[in-house]
Structure 1
């Protein structure tokens, strides 16, 4: 007897698609704005985000979007973010995802971050309930194993 229930691989695929959508929607350049609505749609209503700045300060997805919209009109005229590696763990209706990404700011400044997301599945869909990230540095590079998880050569 065949089941129509999603498998863990189906869940991982759905989460990987959500992460790809996040990176794609949060990229912009003059004449091509970010898709702020698509970015916000993947978050739970009560989600909280923690940027790399310290001390850590919680913000809602709406607060984060407002800040990025302001930056996109002033000092951050372009922002292109792409995933370098993703690791996903699923158990039932909860999951964690670790994503390494590279961002190019104002077409010249390149940096890498590692983002960690906590997700829940409700009504058949995955949403992000918490996300935090930190910047990679020469003394704290993106782990090779995370880059390898996406088929990228280690840095």
Structure 2
């Protein structure tokens, strides 16, 4: 049974999806798809971002807001006899999520593997589900 002061997954997702996204019109980078999961121990955000390197991402927490951003500059250079062409493209995205009160922002960690950025947001100890406790009757 869940304690009443804990947010439910649906409440968390409603608050969590209070996001602010940004992408530029000139951007070849589309806003990446995001999955949000909750367990008894943590929240997890999976960001589908194939073609990136872990160095392309910036993550920071400020005022209970988690911001995920990336800027990427690509250069297409083609040289042939008497013809030289160089095209630059620039792309950026930013997603900001409101963290629930039960999140432990000091312990957030992230890993990028096989095109997916996985962000683990542990819950505070007092917010974790506790196993049922048997009460002896005297």
Note whether the superposition's TM-score is higher than 0.5: no
Looking at secondary structure, tell me which structure has more helix per residue.
Answer: 1
**Higher Rg of the two aligned structures:** 2
Superposition TM-score, scaled by structure 2 size: 0.32
Which structure has more relative contact order (CA 8 Å, sep 6+)? It is 2
Superposition TM-score, scaled by structure 1 size: 0.29
